[in-house]
Structure 1
Amino acid sequence: MPVRFGRIAARMFLPKKHNPRLAVLLMIVATAFIAATTLFAKALGGDTLGPPLHPFQISHGRFVFAFIAIASAVAATRPQLTRPHWGLHFARTFFGWGGVTLMFASVAFIPLADATAIVFLNPVFGMILAIPLLGEKVGRIRWSAAAIALTGALLLLRPTPESFQIASLLALAAAMIMGVEIIFIKKLSGREAPIQVLLINNFLGVLIASVAVLAVWQMPTAAQWAVLIALGICMALAQACFVNAMARADASFVAPFSYGTLIFATLYDIAFFAQIPDWITLTGAGIILSGGLLLAWREARLRQLP
């Protein structure tokens, strides 16, 4: 089964021709898979499939089964691998693992739409951190985009004694940590082939997650094993679709469609948990989306400048 899956997935990592329409479709499919991972994490963190699993164990399953899928694709394609920068890979993976784990912890207690919207602040934190860490200059438009997005997040935190949800802080912390990950992704950009980056990222993720899970490991039920496997495969497919989308069109054109994750998270909330988004969720998510799109537009303009 892994080899057969690897052969299918391998085709997705081969060089592609420029095709913006297909790029958009692939990005939308990727967002559906990404939202599905949070859906599975919410199910695993609850008691519907058995005793709730710790977020460390959920993220461990995500990395283990995603690595098996990516490794199968590598075995099928046998791409030429170069010498990796292990320090950058480890830093990127460590913060990525931390962000994913906090994200999985938050969705066990708050709606998928709320958690997803808050985590979409990670580009904002990445922009802010790029000032001291990468020496980047930030103008008024980018600061305005950050302020807009942070306003939306503040609304989603529901900062009143009656409605404040402490689990929302977990999603906010996830966004901050993923913002740090973005710094290391920028440092890795262009150094190595995407499939090599994905392979090493998931391999190191397995090592980090395996150490973290030792203290909280419990035997999953049969249903939980199935969902853990599905979570890992969905993440591998999401990464494959994302890489393909970026390869078929300019990043500035296709990246904004990644916000489709929020739409799918909302639909999953309604379909599987009967959680209808209230006006706070819709307004806060809309504000974050506006800020994120403004930031994406400004980043695209900056890349076009000589």
Structure 2
Amino acid sequence: MLGSGLAFVGVTGSVRWLGTDLPAVQSAFLRFAWGVVFLLPALWTVLRAGMPAQVWKLNLGRGLIHTGAVVLWFYAMARLPVAEVTAIGFLNPVLVTVGAALMFGEGLALRRILAIGVAILGALIVLRPGFREIGEGHFAQIGAAFCFAGSYLFAKRLTQVLDAGAVVAVLSGLVTLGLAPFALAVWVPVTWGQLVLLAFVALFATAGHYCMTRAFAAAPMAVTQPVVFLQLVWATLLGALVFSEGVDGFVILGGGVIIASVSYMAWREHRLRRRVTPAPGAGQL
């Protein structure tokens, strides 16, 4: 999980370094085009095997909402401090929890509702509406958080019928196709340096997802979630040392409140699963 956090900070740092020289949609398209290149063998295998129509519909739905998410995220990342984008992005698991309750009928007990309320309070601490101007970048990142949450809910359903590699490969292909017409409409010349930088974005993102998947397989969520908070520490250091961004105590405090809420929900889920899971050998005669 530590490696995952460092990799995702590498993603945000690379996009921040890229800046606004390229339109957000063009940057997102080139990043996912590189992803398709890296995942081409897996994508080819999926296309050759074929998928049922219902599975294609789920993939198309996810591809559509994820396309909007990445455009909003690239737009926000080029305009906001690295730590601020990272802190607002911590809302994703909270929104997924709410969405799972609404779409999949998962329980939403009082403790969960209170934890979600605490996370929203953390987001308000980061944004501080009424005490400073909330710009387009902030609204874009909030929109990205909602869209990414929707994408993860689609992924939850897809992992029941496809393996993880196929889910990631199909998503990369569909998002690339979805971004292509919008990227071509605003296309500007691209330098070799920008292409290389976007290739690193794709590599960091792939490494981050791989490390996160390995962490989830190796340890319960109650162990892995608190480590996510270190991502805000790395993002703050990156912004201060590389981009000369000031360290905003409210961003650190708000991000910490959100992560505390997420960690509590993960810990409660882990405790409940242990309570209902029989001990090894208990079911044997």
TM-score bucket (shorter structure): 0.7 to 0.9
1:279 to partner: Cα distance? 1.7
Query: Which residue does the alignment assign to 1:69?
Result: 38
- Mark the CA change 1:255 to 1:91 in structure 2 (over 3 Å): closer, same or farther: farther
Q: TM-score, normalised by structure 2?
A: 0.86
Letter aligned with residue 289 of structure 1:
I
Question: Which of 67, 77, 83 is the equivalent residue of 2:51?
Answer: 83
Letter aligned with residue 35 of structure 2:
A
Written as runs of structure 1 = structure 2, the 5 A alignment for 1:1-306 is: 27-46=1-20, 52-72=21-41, 83=51, 85-160=55-130, 162-304=132-274, 306=276
Q: Return the alpha-carbon distance in structure 1 between the equivalents of residues 33 and 187 of structure 2.
A: 14
Alignment root-mean-square deviation, CA: 2.4
1:93 to partner: Cα distance? 2.6
Q: Deviations over 1:18-46 (max 9, x none)?
A: xxxxxxxxx21122111111111122233
Cα pair 2:228 2:259 within 8 Å, conserved: no
Q: Deviations over 1:37-69 (max 9, x none)?
A: 1111122233xxxxx111111111221112211
- Mark the CA change 1:263 to 1:89 in structure 2 (over 3 Å): closer, same or farther: farther
Query: Any idea what SS the aligned residue of 2:185 has?
Result: coil
- Mark the CA change 1:270 to 1:72 in structure 2 (over 3 Å): closer, same or farther: farther
1:305 to partner: Cα distance? 5.0
Q: Return the alpha-carbon distance in structure 2 between the equivalents of residues 169 and 29 of structure 1.
A: 29
Q: Return the alpha-carbon distance in structure 1 between the equivalents of residues 75 and 142 of structure 2.
A: 12
Q: Return the alpha-carbon distance in structure 1 between the equivalents of residues 271 and 174 of structure 2.
A: 34
Q: Return the alpha-carbon distance in structure 2 between the equivalents of residues 217 and 258 of structure 1.
A: 36
Q: Deviations over 1:69-101 (max 9, x none)?
A: 1225778x99x9673621222222322232222
1:244 to partner: Cα distance? 2.6
Letter aligned with residue 83 of structure 1:
M
Query: Which residue does the alignment assign to 1:5?
Result: none
- Mark the CA change 1:299 to 1:175 in structure 2 (over 3 Å): closer, same or farther: farther
Query: Any idea what SS the aligned residue of 1:214 has?
Result: helix
Q: Deviations over 1:207-266 (max 9, x none)?
A: 112132121111112221111111112112222222233333345533443443322222
- Mark the CA change 1:68 to 1:259 in structure 2 (over 3 Å): closer, same or farther: farther
- Mark the CA change 1:249 to 1:83 in structure 2 (over 3 Å): closer, same or farther: farther
Q: Return the alpha-carbon distance in structure 2 between the equivalents of residues 193 and 82 of structure 1.
A: 13
Any stretches of 5+ residues in structure 2 without a counterpart? Answer: 277-285
Query: Which residue does the alignment assign to 2:280?
Result: none
Q: Return the alpha-carbon distance in structure 2 between the equivalents of residues 293 and 243 of structure 1.
A: 18
Query: Which residue does the alignment assign to 2:279?
Result: none
Cα pair 2:63 2:175 within 8 Å, conserved: yes
1:192 to partner: Cα distance? 1.7
Count residues with an aligned counterpart.
273
Query: Any idea what SS the aligned residue of 2:107 has?
Result: coil
- Of 266-275 and 240-249, deviating more is 240-249
**Sequence identity, in percent?**
28
1:282 to partner: Cα distance? 1.6
Letter aligned with residue 32 of structure 1:
L
Cα pair 1:92 1:185 within 8 Å, conserved: yes
